[in-house]
Amino acid sequence: MPAIDLARLKKQTASLADLFDQPEGFLRELREVLDYYVNRTLRSQSVAPSSVLPTYRTPPVVLRQIETELGPLAEQRPIQALELADALWDEGWLETRLLAAFLLGRIPPQEERLLARLTAWMQAVRDPSVRAALLTTSLTRLRNETPDLFLVLVREWLHPARQRMWSNGIQALVPLVKAPDFDNLPPVLDIVEPIFKASPAALQFDLQELIKALYQASPDETVFFLQETVTKAKNPLPAVSLRRMSPKLPEELRTSLRDILRGTKQERKKT
């Protein structure tokens, strides 16, 4: 790989920006840019250890510069941005899908096709890096600017008939709950209640991370929610799941959980 000349890189990415509304031409130019910066001294595993996609092993600085050029255009021209994102996604390389995920995150949330695209890509994604980008970067504006619409999307992902999407839905909620200015937990708790009642073992880590975020945001609401979930459950799965998670949870919450689980155990003995 040649040394990165920032002046040259800026010219190359500016040329890409000129093709923003021409997906085919953009992809031809992008392939040349990515191929120019291929780091052939690295094994692909060193760049994307668990990637299931082919990769150009592009240095991060190159992708960041491309994003810098494309970001403002995506905000100003959402229809063209979505068309370009589709073309990048269909190209099927790690770098092109990361750029597609980036573009989705810059498109105004009001774009009517955005939610459908996010859902379709989340259902299809297998690469962990792309999945992480979709759950964070792609959802940024939707989560920050239209939280109600964001919750509509997550509720759709957590539908009982879409169990394969449950992990995505739970992980998508964590940044929302952690946001310093977010103070509307009731709709979040309402959305996740059925998932906590089911408590699939495969989702233990996801639920654990969400509980931590909920407890940090509102300890009292979280403890009350968990107590209600456990006591009203028709099976022992929520209690079993919480008992397994307990060692990884904050100490104060562990104390509250011990009382909840002890009380639940005594009630079950009576019945």
Reduced 3-state DSSP string for 240-259: HHHHHHHHHCCHHHHHHHHH
DSSP state of 113: T
Q: Distances in Å between the alpha carbon of 98 and those of 4, 27, 28, 58, 91?
A: 21, 14, 17, 11, 11
Tokens of 17: 């920006």
**Contact partners, residue 6, CB within 8 Å, separation at least 6:** 65
Q: What is the pLDDT along the chain (271 residues), one digit of tens a residue?
A: 557 899 999 999 999 999 999 999 999 999 999 999 986 555 444 445 567 899 999 999 999 999 999 999 999 999 999 999 999 999 999 999 999 999 999 999 999 899 999 999 999 999 999 999 999 999 999 999 999 999 999 999 999 999 999 999 999 999 999 999 999 999 999 999 999 999 999 999 999 999 999 999 999 999 999 999 999 888 899 999 999 999 999 999 999 999 999 866 555 554 5
Indicate the SS3 state at residue 53.
coil
Q: Cα–chain-centroid distance for residue 165?
A: 11
**Contact partners, residue 73, CB within 8 Å, separation at least 6:** 17, 20, 80, 81
End-to-end Cα, the chain, rounded Å? 70
Closest listed residue to residue 257, CA positions, set 203, 200, 196: 196
Indicate the SS3 state at residue 130.
helix
**Contact partners, residue 269, CB within 8 Å, separation at least 6:** none
User: What is the pLDDT at residue 178?
Assistant: 96
**Count of all residues that appear for the chain in the document:** 271
Please state the pTM of the whole predicted model. Answer: 0.88
Which residue do the tokens 């959980």 mark?
257
- Cα(94)–Cα(53) distance, rounded to whole angstroms? 5
Are the CB atoms for 178 and 170 separated by under 8 Å?
no
Instruction: Tell me the HSE value of 151 on the side-chain side, using a 13 A CA sphere.
Output: 15
H-state helical runs in the chain? 6-18, 23-36, 44-47, 60-76, 78-91, 94-106, 114-124, 128-135, 140-145, 147-157, 166-178, 185-198, 204-217, 219-232, 237-245, 251-270
Are the CB atoms for 52 and 126 separated by under 8 Å?
yes
User: What is the pLDDT at residue 50?
Assistant: 60
Buried b (16+ CB within 10 A) or exposed e, 75-112: eeebebbbbbbbbbbebebbbbbbbbbbbbbbbebebe
